[in-house]
A and B are shown apart, each in its own frame.
Chain A
Amino acid sequence: MKRFAELLDRLLLTPSRNGKLTLLVDHFTTVPDPERGLALAAITRDLSIASVKPAMLRALVEERIDPILFGYSYDYVGDLAETIALIWPTEASALDRRNDVPTLSEVVQTLDATSRAKAPAVMADWLDRLDASGRYALIKLATGGLRIGVSSRLAKQALADFGKVDVVEIEELWHGLKLPYLELFAWLEGHAPKPESLAAAPFRPVMLATAIEDGDLDKLDPADYAAEWKWDGIRVQATSERGVRRLYTRTGDDISGTFPDILEALNFEGAMDGELLVGHSPDLTAGKQGPVEIGTFGDLQQRLNRKAVTAKTMEAYPAFIRAYDLMQDGSEDLRAAPFRERRARLEAFVLGLDPTRFDISPLVEFTDWQQIVDFRTEPPHPIIEGLMLKRWDSPYVPGRPRGPWFKWKREPFTIDAVLMYAQRGHGKRSSFYSDYTFGVWKGDTPETGELVPVGKAYFGFTDDELKLIDKFVRDNTIDRYGPVRSVKATPEVGLVLEIAFEGLNRSARHKSGVAMRFPRISRLRWDKPAREADRLETLERMLD
């Protein structure tokens, strides 16, 4: 528990991906089984623990400390779990002598076997035996509040680094593994063979495309490639084998629970690759067959990142899959077959499925690259974010090999916005103001109106440009709040930033009513007066 607590404390405050990887690899290297496996599961949130209510803990602590002193402390600290962890009274000197610090496995096993009535006594005993950092980890674990900014993708990468294997090998195995991952660690440490993935409907590592760069097309023969639209949803893998149905993201996260409507429609044996999109319900409820009407990415977001989904939401935003590829057809693994063959099999496969839940991403007919250039400039549908080029003879291989598949995104949208706030960065950038909030004009004229913030961006500029913006921020600061500076932004004085972004959603959470997708700084417009920056109406028009 001590080592787990230490890891949590460090991960919580380490902003950089590499830093987190180092800490995780170190943990796997120095902490024995089964503790490291349980720590991994706790971090990836694959550990389900019968949970303890925060109110119960508060009652426990108020038996031990004056409620008024507790109240002062809670006001100051602001987080209940942390307040309890810090305030829990122990004999400081006794702590040095305690050799009975509970292990993570003791905590996990005991909590599972403890009745609700006995839980307070069990928790109190552990809290007595732990130091402040251990108590914090225990409380967060037991109350289900463990959020530490490590994605399961990052955890898998750390395992790959630890065992010096490719991360796709971990992804492939992941869903067949059992806590506390003893065979996995044994394999990664080199004293056992690679565990066989025994689970039905495992994740199959996804094939990814590389971006088209200038001059690439000239070197390629159009006859070698198929083209298809790149849809603006989320890439998924739908698998159904031996009665097990799963929906995975492209990094192997299981999102089946969020999409019961899709899962119900997976009445096939096989594994397909496609884009998850949502439709507009009127077209579907009208009993209409055939091509589905697609909702925007904003509509799709109504369905994402939800643990539970209501019938109403499913009806308003029905999900469907636009199929790209077929990796498994019945008992036949198609991944070694060329794209041309897989495509033919896919077309036949999708014909047998519920047309309100599945359709096929159509191929784009073309004979020369100029047509592709034109299609990219004017795609026939707003939910298209670009084109994919796939070699007719390409097998389906995991990872991102250069050559067989290319993606070519449409030009991003751009607007000119004015820098409003700047925040200090982390790590390498901790002495630079590197995270920017920018706004556009609202009101009749810049002189009578005001700037409303429309987004944040922290990349897209070079190191030299960063230095210049940092200097501008320091020279034009009008207010400070902790690590944030408010920057002079008037019609006369202000830094205009050209912002590129992929799309725009309506957002009730933002004062401006809009939220940008993937905003980044594409150019610094030192030449442009702030008064000439874009207006909110320009963005609002883009929404329609």
Chain B
Amino acid sequence: MRPDDLLKPRPEGLYCPPGDFYIDPVRPVERALVTHGHADHARPGNQNVLATRQTLDIMAIRYGENFAASRQEAAIGERLTINGVTVSFHPAGHVLGSAQICVEKDGLRIVASGDYKPRPDPTCAAFEPVPCDVFITEATFALPVFRHPDDREEIGRLLKSVRQFPERSHLVGAYALGKAQRVIRLIRDAGYDETIYIHGALKTLCDYYESQGVALGPLAPATIDNGKKGDFAGAIVVGPPSAFADRWARRFPDPVSCFASGWMRVRQRAKQRGVELPIILSDHADWDELIDTITAISPSEVWVTHGREEALVRWCELNGIRARPLHLVGYEDEAE
């Protein structure tokens, strides 16, 4: 069996002809295997969804209990058979519940890693490299300029700024699923135990993370019913990035706008968005992690999807690894 016969790109998403299922389809299909709960990977309207329990829970939180006609839980590491194709889910280290999906038939094994990051993250299970013939990798930050610094240093800069500007509030833009909880957890790990204020859009997901054993410390809604404008002086407020351009942001005194994203590595990106304090923090692998992962897994072929495919393909060529871009459409850059 050739790799293309086991998995191939279609407009709906990555399709497995012998198993008759899709991985992370962007349009409703009969059977979907979903790597993780981000909106561009997990969409409502499929007939049947197979995913980790946490991903299923997250989909239910985001889309309601009826996000699919039927659902099936995939336990991490368990081997399931679908129309003669063996599939298994392995931790991707991206967000809570995220998994790589391993697809196997007739001795050929392809791993669709979805979004992943190898570095430790206190809010989700650690990435596990899975030996395979074809490794499908994301390429969100696949340029050698993207090297995410140490998380602790980035959070340290935020807390330093909070001390420097006690009369202002710090608004931290962070994607609602994963990034926000990770930022909060890292702030706690740095020893900050004041109440952190959160935008309403974060509430249910923060509650869910807590129910899964990720302690986030004292949180309160960032609403003015609780008091006057001055109450947020010196406070840290976390919300989805889109909310900061919104009227919502007006309730805070002279806010320092912060944005937690891998894109913040590039000053011009920070400047364009009017970000005053960039926090370089990403849930995706950086350049070094991408090439280290490929080197460690050492597949005979690499397929590259959403992001800067050309640079990663170039690197593979230089290092004697067969590689090609997949040209899947419908997946977005991190955190917009």
A92 to B275, CA, bound (A): 26
Q: Tell me the nearest residue of chain A to B265, going by C-beta.
A: A86
Are A76 and B143 touching (Cβ within 8 A)? yes
**Contact A13:B275 (CB < 8 A) given known A76-B145, A87-B145:** yes
Which chain B positions have C-beta within 8 A of A69? 143-144, 311, 314-315
With a cutoff of 8 Å between Cβ atoms, the chain A residues found around residue B254 in the complex are 16, 427-428
Please measure, in the bound complex, the distance between the C-alpha atom of A96 and the C-alpha atom of B257, giving whole angstroms. 28
**B249 CB-CB contact with A under 8 Å:** yes
A77 is an interface residue with CB less than 8 A from chain B? yes
Please provide the 4 A-B residue pairs with the shortest distance between their CB atoms, ordered closest to farther: A86-B145, A431-B249, A73-B145, A72-B311
Contacts of A50-69 to chain B: CB distance below 8 A? 65-66, 68-69
**Besides A70-B144, A428-B255, 10 other CB < 8 A contacts?**
A15-B274, A69-B144, A72-B310, A72-B314, A73-B143, A79-B267, A86-B145, A86-B266, A92-B288, A426-B276
Which residues of A in the span 75-94 have a Cβ within 8 Å of any Cβ on B?
76-79, 82-83, 86-87, 89, 92
Smallest distance from the beta carbon of B196 to chain A beta carbons, Å? 20
Q: Is B144 touching A87 in the complex (CB atoms < 8 A)?
A: yes
474-509 of chain A: CB within 8 A of chain B: 482-483
- Is B211 on the interface with A (CB-CB < 8 A)? no
11 of the cross-chain contacts (CB-CB < 8 Å) are: A10-B161, A12-B267, A16-B254, A19-B256, A22-B165, A68-B314, A72-B143, A72-B308, A76-B145, A136-B267, A424-B274
B144 touches A82 (CB 8 A): no
Rounded to whole angstroms, the CA-CA distance of A73 and B142 in the bound complex is 10
Taking a contact as CB atoms closer than 8 A, the residue among A82, A424, A430 that contacts B267 in the complex is: A82
Q: Determine the chain A residues whose CB is within 8 A of the CB of B278 once the complex forms.
A: 13
Q: Is B247 located at the chain interface by the 8 A CB criterion?
A: yes
Find the A residue at minimum CB distance from B272: A482
B137-165 Cβ-contact flags toward A at 8 Å (1 or 0): 00000011111011000000100010011
B277 within 8 Å of A by Cβ? yes
Q: Please, which residues of chain A bring their CB within 8 A of the CB of B205?
A: none
CA distance A132 to B147 in the complex (A): 9
Chain B residue at smallest Cβ distance from A131: B149
Q: Identify the B interface with A (CB < 8 A).
A: 143-147, 149-150, 157, 161, 164-165, 244-250, 254-257, 265-268, 270-278, 288, 308, 310-311, 314-315, 318
- By the criterion CB–CB under 8 Å, are B165 and A132 in contact? no
Known A-B contacts A73-B145, A86-B266, A132-B149; A430 and B274 likewise in contact (beta carbons under 8 Å): yes
A77 touches B147 (CB 8 A): no
Q: Chain A 1-44 against B: per-residue CB contact (8 Å), 1 yes, 0 no?
A: 00000100110111110010011001000000000000000000
Asked whether B246 lies within 8 Å of A431 as measured between CB atoms, the reply is yes
Contacts of B318 in A (CB 8 A): 66
Q: Please, which residues of chain B bring their CB within 8 A of the CB of A76?
A: 143, 145, 266, 308
Contact with A431, one of B245, B256, B265, B277 (Cβ below 8 angstroms): B245
Report B-chain residues with C-beta under 8 Å of the C-beta of A16: 254
Q: Which of A114-150 contact B (CB under 8 A)?
A: 131-132, 136
Instruction: Name the distance in Å between A422's Cβ and chain B's nearest Cβ.
Output: 12
- In the assembled complex, the Cα of A432 lies from the Cα of B247 at a distance in Å of 8
Is B314 a contact of A66 with CB atoms below 8 Å? yes
What chain B residues lie within 8 Å of A23 (beta carbons)? Answer: 164
**Assembly CA distance A480 to B54 (angstroms):** 37
Pick from B147, B164, B244, B257: contact of A22, CB below 8 A. Answer: B164
Hey, which bits of chain A sit against chain B, CB under 8 A? 6, 9-10, 12-16, 19, 22-23, 26, 65-66, 68-70, 72-73, 76-79, 82-83, 86-87, 89, 92, 96, 131-132, 136, 424, 426-428, 430-432, 482-483
| Chain B: CB-nearest residue to A471 | B247
Is A14 touching B276 in the complex (CB atoms < 8 A)?
yes
Task: Tell me, in angstroms, the Cα distance from A370 to B18 when the chains sit together.
Answer: 97
Contact A13–B271 (Cβ < 8 Å): yes
B266 touches A77 (CB 8 A): yes
Most chain B beta carbons < 10 A, residue from A10, A72, A89, A430: A430
Nearest chain B CB to A155 CB, angstrom units: 18
Expressed in whole angstroms, the minimum distance between the Cβ of A421 and any Cβ of chain B is 16
A70: chain B residues at CB < 8 Å are: 144
Q: CA A483 – CA B275 in complex, angstroms?
A: 11
A274 to chain B, nearest CB (A): 40
A431 and B144 in contact, given A13-B270, A26-B164, A66-B318 (Cβ under 8 angstroms):
no
* Shortest Cβ distance from residue A6 to the other chain B in the assembled complex, whole angstroms: 8
In the assembled complex, the CB of A461 is this many whole angstroms from the nearest CB of chain B, namely 16
Least CB separation from A86: chain B residue? B145
Interface contact B274-A483, CB-CB below 8 Å: yes
List residues of chain B with CB within 8 A of the CB of A483: 245, 272-274
The chain B residue with its CB closest to the CB of A428 is B254
**Nearest opposing residue in chain B for A84, CB measure:** B145
B244 to chain A: which residues have CB within 8 Å? Answer: 430-431
* A430 / chain B contacts, CB cutoff of 8 Å: 244-245, 249, 255, 257, 274
Please state if A427 and B266 are interface contacts (CB–CB under 8 Å). no
Q: Within the assembled complex, what's the spacing in Å between the Cα atoms of A15 and B246?
A: 19
Q: Provide the residues of chain A in CB contact with B257, threshold 8 Å.
A: 430
The answer on a CB contact under 8 Å between A15 and B143 is no
In the complex, are the beta carbons of A83 and B145 less than 8 A apart? yes
Interface contact A77-B274, CB-CB below 8 Å: no
Q: Tell me whether B144 and A65 are in contact (CB under 8 A).
A: yes
How far does the Cβ of B30 sit from chain A's closest Cβ, in whole Å? 38
Give complex CA distance A83, B146 in Å: 10
CA distance A211 to B60 in the complex (A): 65
Q: Which residues of A contact B310 (CB under 8 A)?
A: 72
Cα A89 to Cα B268 in complex, Å, equals 21
| A6→B161 CA distance, assembly (Å) | 11
> B268–A78 contact, CB under 8 A?
yes
Q: Which of B256, B272, B288 has the most CB of A within 10 A?
A: B256
Interchain CA distance A89-B165 in the complex, whole Å:
34
Asked if residues A13 and B147 are in contact (CB atoms below 8 Å), the reply is no
A241 vs chain B, min Cβ distance (A): 42
* Interchain CA distance A168-B279 in the complex, whole Å: 38
Closest B residue by C-beta to A23? B164
Cα distance A432–B248 in the bound complex, in angstroms = 11
Most buried by B among A66, A69, A87, A89: A69
- A15 to B266 alpha-carbon distance, docked (Å): 18
Interchain nearest-CB distance for A80 vs B (Å): 12
B157 to chain A: closest residue by CB? A6
